[in-house]
Amino acid sequence: MVFAAQPRCVVRGGAQRAASGVPPTYTRPMTTYLHRLIDYNNWANRGLLEFLRTLPEEALDLRAGGVFGSIRQTFEHLLSSEFRYHRSLLSLPQVDAVRSETPSLDDLAVLARESGANLNRLVDSLPEPGTMMQLRDGSRSAATILTQLLVHGVEHRAHIGTILGANGISGPELDGWAHGIFAYGDAWPADWGPEPQVRAQFPTPEQD
């Protein structure tokens, strides 16, 4: 099944961007580089969720070859892993984050909100980087677990982008450039074409 393509949040290369698909600019103090990286992760999860809300519910079960699973399975795996990594970094017992075998988009949004709030608090309570923490398959340093948490999210959001593209859907632009522009007011690149005057209502960090 191929769904009608939706407006892309940002289309590079000078092409005109669809005004209805661009998130708003908001500002937030950047305390440390780590705060910024965590903020990017949470922003990208929110942006992807809001984009998926523009598609029919059955789009969550789209698949493509060579990636983790369906969109639903991939996003659930991404968020559940964030919960596990967070609890590992704080030496907390593991619990099941997912309440349903086939979580709805609303279920995923609740998970993303909870995980985002956890990660925002985590920044100020991390153990020393070299502290060895216990995982299901052995021990890893706190720095390694945090690195995996952030890279893992990028990897699986890219998988979802691949699934969307394979099914004729242009997904949202969720890279670091877009985050800097829309979340922190970085200058709009000249080679992206004219800046849209109207922007969609993506959730802001204050809603975490």
Dump pLDDT digits (tens) for 65-120: 888 899 999 999 999 999 999 999 999 988 777 667 789 999 999 999 999 999 99
Q: Which residues contact 191 (CB under 8 A, 6 or more apart)?
A: 12, 13, 14
**Does the domain at residues 19-207 carry the CATH identifier 1.20.120.450?**
yes
Q: Which residues contact 50 (CB under 8 A, 6 or more apart)?
A: 23, 172, 200, 202, 203
Q: In the predicted model, is pLDDT for residue 41 greater than 70? A: yes
Yes or no: say if 191 and 179 are a contact pair by the CB < 8 Å rule. no
Q: In the predicted model, is pLDDT for residue 176 greater than 50? A: yes
Most distant CA atoms of the chain, gap in Å: 51
Dump pLDDT digits (tens) for 59-78: 999 999 888 899 999 999 99
Query: Mean pLDDT across the stretch 35-63?
Result: 95
Q: What pLDDT, on the 0 to 100 scale, is given for residue 183?
A: 84
- Dihedral sign for Cα 182, 183, 185, 186, please: negative
Q: What pLDDT, on the 0 to 100 scale, is given for residue 192?
A: 81
Q: pLDDT higher for 193 or 171?
A: 171
CA distance 36 to 110: 22
Q: What pLDDT, on the 0 to 100 scale, is given for residue 142?
A: 95
Q: In the predicted model, is pLDDT for residue 21 greater than 50? A: no
From the list 174, 52, 45, the residue with the least C-alpha distance to 115 is 45
Place of tokens 């305390």: 31
Q: What pLDDT, on the 0 to 100 scale, is given for residue 168?
A: 95
Report the share of the chain in percent with pLDDT over 70. Answer: 78
Q: What pLDDT, on the 0 to 100 scale, is given for residue 197?
A: 59
Can you read off the two tokens belonging to residue 130? 């070299």
Query: Mean pLDDT across the stretch 14-24?
Result: 35
